[in-house]
Structure 1
Amino acid sequence: MLKFKSKFSFLLPLMFALFLSLLGVTNVTAATSGDYTIAPSGKSNDVVNIDNGSYYITGTPGQKTEIKLQVINKASSTRNFIYYAATAYTNDNGALSYNSMKVTDPSLKIQTRDAISPKKSTFKVPGNTSATLTLNVTIPTKKFDGTIMGGVTVAPYKEKAKGTVGSNGNLIKNKFSYSIPVQIHQKGAEAVQPKYSVRTVKPDLTTTSKGQKQGVKANIHNSTNSYTGSLSAKAVVTKKGDKSFKITQLYDSQSIAPTTNYDLSIPWGKKALQSGDYHLKLTYKTAGGIKSWVLNKDFTITNNDAAKYNKLAGIKPNYLWLYILLGILALAIILGLGIYLGKRNNNKNNNNGGNGGTPTRRRRR
């Protein structure tokens, strides 16, 4: 059962603020914005470690334990909140997310969400007070190596989004939600290394600072129960048979969750998509480059896909080559016709004896 208690006086240690969009959240020690804060509560023990601001749980299969989550309402009025547990995944921005009730992946065997109870609940916190939620965690009975990962999320419940005016004068409406990661490890289980791969590379629209642009999306997969923290990445795309073609894209803070897949966008820049055979070389590195992974994948862009996504990105077809070809063809026809007419005229003059077509007569004497 979900339990919480209110406190009218509290003292918090140093807190780190983190703004999170509706689409995802990431690791926090204590999140503060939107007039509320969440943080792990209690003390670390042999089963639950909260020293790094998240819940790292180690126990035997079937073992039960409790974790405590503190929610501080910084507003002056009573607010309604919703809590839910989720399995971690990586969203298409390369960030850890905990906003899906069910994560799907071909390598995912255990939903971390199922180890936490209750899975979802709503509650109230009076103004300028805090509440402590007590959650139950059961180590999965099914044996697994490595670490499975999820998160506990708190968000305002049935509140309207607050509006702010951006630098361009547009009204921006934001909602805040915060999550704290939960990592579960079975005692005595072996550690596992990440196994990254590129499953597919397909033409698509990519989101850039200048809007939706043509490019490709590479589906990246981690097939093991492993998490290495934030990674940097470098994507290099080359075209077979064209040594002058090269696209390079750099990425920071790619957090690849255990047994997850996500689409890494590779914009084409000012280049239009063209049909042909391509190769992607993708390199991930840990902080300081201590560990790295190099992934390679061949892919093909068809004429139809190139035309489709170029059009969606607002790129007009370049018909210059066609105009040049038509110009060359027209010139060739004119030259050919001139040569033909010139030869025919010469042949006619030769056949007529060169006298303008008037035959000569002999006189009889």
Structure 2
Amino acid sequence: MDMEDVCIMRKKRISVLLTLSFILAFFLLSAGSLNVKAATSGDYSLKVGGSNTDNLNIDNGNYFITGNAGQSVDLKLLVINSASNTRRFKFSVTTAFTDDNGALSYNKLKVSDPSLKIQTRGLASPKDAVFSVPGNKTATLTFSMKVPEQKFNGILMGGVTVAPYKEKAKGTVSNNGTLIKNKFSYSIPIQIRQSGNETVQPSYSIRTVKPGLTNTADGRKQGVQANIHNSTNSYAGTLSAHAVVTKKSDKSFKIVKDGSADIAPTTNYNMAIPWGKKTLQAGNYHLKVTYKTRGGLKSWVLNKDFTITNNDAAKYNKLAGVKPNYLWLYILLGILALAIILGLGIYLGKKNNKGNNNSDNSSRKRRR
């Protein structure tokens, strides 16, 4: 075997080893995921009944009450049963609050907030009732709301909520075989203003920021929960919400979340800020939240420093299913393996070349 043949064999061996190395690296770095969603319908609806009076305005499909202290105002509610069978429903008047999705909600019989002095539910008569509606028929309910006797500024908010009574939740099965049960309730907002009282402006603040799990389209992920508080009897409508988290020791770190919020009077809610693909890391951080009304005529900027500890970071990363990132290690091992393979190829090539040279020299000596 001459030198040219040896070089060709050595190049082929190295080429094969390189190809095998890249195939191995490809399989080490491959992964995938799947998401499932589902939805159904409740077969009934609500509508405001009656007409406008000196103390009631229903033009926007809500109940807007203005009255003197202690005055009662009658309200009418239409419940439309779209199903073919007679159904029973439960009627409740509740106090408005903002849920952790930033939406106005009316599904609590008692709302807790340090600034809440008057529960709207306590002004209703009756507060609760159970009634029947024949199939494909509409029932009209009448209830009253009392303007508080104690003086207050701003507005009070609540809602009338109707839900099927003692019906089994409808179930659907997702693609992965999970049974999802759905219960439906619908609400119509109620606002109460006392005649002659003053309008008050919202007073928003960030009470706390804590690490935790946040709901995302990909499941529950690591992030922080910022508790936002409105301490006054005020409602500014649907607001845009822009949240930015920065880290004091890392100028390149930034988490941004955009969304919207309907912040009820005297309420607090947890704004979830997911960390995305980043893992929670211990350190000192700053949160800036900007709320704006539609059209941007009014805005509020809130600021809060907070700290994430090593224990909290490890806890919520683990609960979110975050696995340590070994990509750097895979890359290092791949480079090391490639270097070893190349070194071995060069060594074997030189050894074969040396052996062939020795053979050629021996043959020449014998010929002499």
Alignment of 1:32-181 (within 5 A): 34-166=42-174, 170-181=178-189
Name 1:242's counterpart in structure 2.
250
Q: 2 CA distance for matches of 1:315 and 1:309?
A: 9
Q: 2 CA distance for matches of 1:306 and 1:166?
A: 32
* Bigger fraction of residues in helix: 2
Question: In the alignment, residue 262 of structure 1 is paired with which amino acid?
Answer: Y
Name 1:362's counterpart in structure 2.
none
Q: 2 CA distance for matches of 1:146 and 1:101?
A: 22
Deviations 1:16-63 (A, max 9, x none): xxxxx9xxxxxxxxxxx5221211101011101110000000000001
Question: In the alignment, residue 176 of structure 1 is paired with which amino acid?
Answer: F
Name 2:24's counterpart in structure 1.
none
Alignment of 1:1-365 (within 5 A): 34-166=42-174, 170-252=178-260, 254-317=261-324
Q: 1:172, CA displacement in angstroms?
A: 3.1
Q: TM-score, normalised by structure 1?
A: 0.77
Aligned positions, number: 292
Question: In the alignment, residue 307 of structure 2 is paired with which amino acid?
Answer: T
Question: In the alignment, residue 321 of structure 2 is paired with which amino acid?
Answer: G
Q: 1 CA distance for matches of 2:42 and 2:250?
A: 52
CA RMSD of aligned residues (A): 2.1
Stretches of structure 1 lacking an aligned partner (at least 5 in a row)? 1-20, 22-32, 323-365
Stretches of structure 2 lacking an aligned partner (at least 5 in a row)? 1-37, 330-368
Name 2:6's counterpart in structure 1.
none
Q: 1:165, CA displacement in angstroms?
A: 4.6
Question: In the alignment, residue 174 of structure 1 is paired with which amino acid?
Answer: N
Secondary structure of the residue aligned to 2:122 is helix
Q: 1 CA distance for matches of 2:162 and 2:93?
A: 9
Q: 2 CA distance for matches of 1:301 and 1:319?
A: 23
Q: 1:129, CA displacement in angstroms?
A: 1.3
Secondary structure of the residue aligned to 2:311 is helix
Deviations 1:129-148 (A, max 9, x none): 11111101110001100000
Q: 2 CA distance for matches of 1:310 and 1:171?
A: 27
Q: 1:127, CA displacement in angstroms?
A: 1.3
Q: TM-score, normalised by structure 2?
A: 0.76
Question: In the alignment, residue 50 of structure 1 is paired with which amino acid?
Answer: I
Question: In the alignment, residue 322 of structure 2 is paired with which amino acid?
Answer: I
Name 1:13's counterpart in structure 2.
none
Secondary structure of the residue aligned to 2:199 is coil
Secondary structure of the residue aligned to 2:315 is helix
Q: 1 CA distance for matches of 2:180 and 2:280?
A: 33
Distance 1:243 1:46, change over 3 A: same
